[in-house]
Amino acid sequence: MNYFEYGNDRIDTLEMAASITSIIVGVGILTLPRLIAETTQSSDGWISIAVAGFILIGLGWVLAKYCGLLHVKGFYAFNAKLITAPAAALVTIAISIYFMLYAAYEVRAIANISKQYLFERTPVEYIALAFLLVVAYGVAGSREGIIRLNLLFLPLVIVIALAVLIFSIGIINVHDLKPFMVTDWKGLAAGTKQCIFSMIGFEAILFYSTMMKKPKALPKAVAIGLVIPVLFYLTIYIICIGVFTQPALKEIMYPAVELAKEAQIPGEFFERFESVFFTIWVMTIFNTTCMAFDVSIHALDSVLPKVGRMKWLFIICPVIYLICMQPQNALQFSKFSEIISYTGITVGILIPILLYAYALIRGERESS
């Protein structure tokens, strides 16, 4: 398959920041208000979101510094010399499997939500297959194209999200935000865990950092890319509490979509604004899935380059589809999400941080 080759295969700080935001702001932002409301009281969930944001920005900064060591060689090649090739291959394959699961989760989630709001009579299996084939077509192109697509779609997504928030201000009942500070530390900790689970995915920088024009600007890009989702999550959560109340929010499957349905648009220009909101949001979920799919392919291709990128795509694509069809109900899908989150924190964050610490002990220094 022939595809367009970009004359400039380097990406700048803004493109990396947009990519980090895009991979985080996918399905998670549609469901997080409900998950936070289940573990916290009143409007105290904002504390959990803020704490999770600080933790993730710190972890992201450490991963970004680690990526400074990888810039010349790449993840597998660098770690092959650091901890031997077999061990590096094992870690790289584990990360590939994690992003494979991540992509499968996004595909199934978009299929479930699309069936509920857009295609009521279409089986989930067909929706998931159609979406996955479009994603596979996108991944078959250049990696630079995926990154630049994030910068193209993200402003539109942000504008639509801001429109939903602004049009919802008029229906907020501020009394529903009270009382304050009534959740115990266990509830806040549980909410923080849910926030962290919803905002992982930025580990993709382990494989995109080699494309940076200025590797030393990566920590800044990561910080910007993480701050934007945290601010969005905070704002959407507080507005959802003010509109639906905390007890009701626990029962709403996709609060962000329902918020778009409740938004009061002057002049009633859109009768079903949630359809517009969700259709635009599909762009972000498409980008998220493309990046997860691409990282999975790139990781395997770095370990076994003789197979070739396109062959890996055709091998992984049906695997992702089979995985995404395994959960049979909402409970199993929730468990599937939890497994992916724990896997991502382990192989995508904790292990690379340990490798970074070992590299510093060995005297490795960031490349210029």
CATH fold for domain 24-356 = Amino acid/polyamine transporter I (1.20.1740)
pTM of structure? 0.90
pLDDT tens for residues 123-139?
999 999 999 999 999 99
Among the ranges given (32-46, 77-91, 252-266), the one the predictor scored with the smallest mean pLDDT: 252-266
Do 22 and 286 meet the contact criterion of CB atoms below 8 Å apart? no
Domain residue limits, the chain: 24-356
- CA 100 → CA 201, 202, 286, 297, 306, distances in Å? 12, 15, 14, 9, 20
Question: In whole angstroms, what is the distance from residue 246 CA to residue 42 CA?
Answer: 6
Over its C-alpha atoms, the chain yields an Rg (Å, rounded) of 20
User: Strand, helix or coil at 212?
Assistant: strand
Question: In whole angstroms, what is the distance from residue 222 CA to residue 292 CA?
Answer: 17
pLDDT tens for residues 237-248?
999 998 888 888
Q: Which two tokens stand for residue 5?
A: 């080759």
- CA 64 → CA 12, 50, 208, 366, distances in Å? 14, 21, 11, 11
What is the arithmetic mean of pLDDT over 140-162? 86
Residues 6+ apart with CB under 8 A from 44: 180, 181, 182, 183, 187, 188, 191
Nearest to 345 by CA among 20, 56, 104: 56
Is 1 a residue whose pLDDT tops 60? no
Residues 6+ apart with CB under 8 A from 34: 249, 250, 251, 252, 253, 254, 255
Do 18 and 154 meet the contact criterion of CB atoms below 8 Å apart? yes
pLDDT tens for residues 16-75?
999 999 888 878 888 888 989 889 888 888 999 999 999 999 999 999 999 888 776 788
